[in-house]
Amino acid sequence: MNDTTTRYFLELSYKGSAFHGWQIQSNAFTVQECLEKALSTYFRMPISVMGSGRTDTGVHASQQVCHFDLTDTDLGENFIKAINAILPKDIAIYAVRKVQPEAHARFAATKRSYFYRITFSKNPFLQDFAWQLFQQPDVTAMNEAAQVLLGYEDFECFSKVHTAVSHFRCKIFEAYWEPNGEELLFHITANRFLRGMVRSIVGTLLEVGFGHRPVADLHQVIASKDRTQAGKAAPAKGLFLSKIEYPTHIYLD
């Protein structure tokens, strides 16, 4: 970056139902593509963004963060209002902050959090935002199994196959299920996530909750490093990227 270039972090949320994930693809409509087009329209120049991480097709974000650079250009007084007017209704910008020139939305993130929503009653307002189940699982057993995850760092067994990653190591800081009335929420926080990882974990833990496998089986599944040994992935519509954390020193305002 040169002396006249300023880097900004954008905080946004989106409903993922209509998008083929976050990352730009040559033959599919994505959140990143939509956001870059809106920013390029507003600034009247090509703008590219880098997200904190990918979300898969149909996955939502209550908080996503990305960065972009501007050279010799001001944001404008009504930037957030104006850019939201350009964006479709499924994407909303909440904040924009100036950051250190080398701050990186992906590499500077220290923690990422997701939650997964399950509902046990028919709710027309949650059809696109939750997985409806008709049987209550054993939450105590699932929480016991979730704690097993904290003792490991290699999660190849929960990753989609044929992904372009150099390793499958992740540090999981917390993982637990929270009953919430007619809903059941799964919370998980880690330094990084693999493609399809959270949905695979949810599907595997539910097999424990429904008595299809014992808690102790999680040790063998993780040690196998084999995706076929884990449970079926939960549907995308219940998954939300919910929080991205950064060191405070990267912010300039």
Annotated catalytic sites, by residue?
Answer: 56
Q: Say how many CA atoms lie within 13 Å of 85 toward its Cβ.
A: 7
Q: Which of 50, 54, 79, 55 is nearest to 66 (CA)?
A: 50
**Residue pair 113/176 in contact by the 8 Å Cβ criterion:** no
**Residue 171 CB neighbours (<10 A):** 12
Do the strands 50-51 and 239-245 form a parallel or antiparallel pair, or are they unpaired? unpaired
H or E, element range at 239: strand 239-245
CA distance 117 to 132: 9
CA distance 44 to 38: 10
User: Where does the chain show beta strands of DSSP type E?
Assistant: 5-14, 50-51, 60-71, 91-99, 111-119, 131-132, 172-180, 183-190, 239-245
Please answer whether residues 115 and 187 qualify as being in contact, where contact means their C-beta atoms are separated by less than 8 angstroms: yes
Residue 121 zone, left/alpha/beta (φ > 0; ψ -120 to 50; rest): beta
* DSSP-derived 3-state class of residue 193: coil
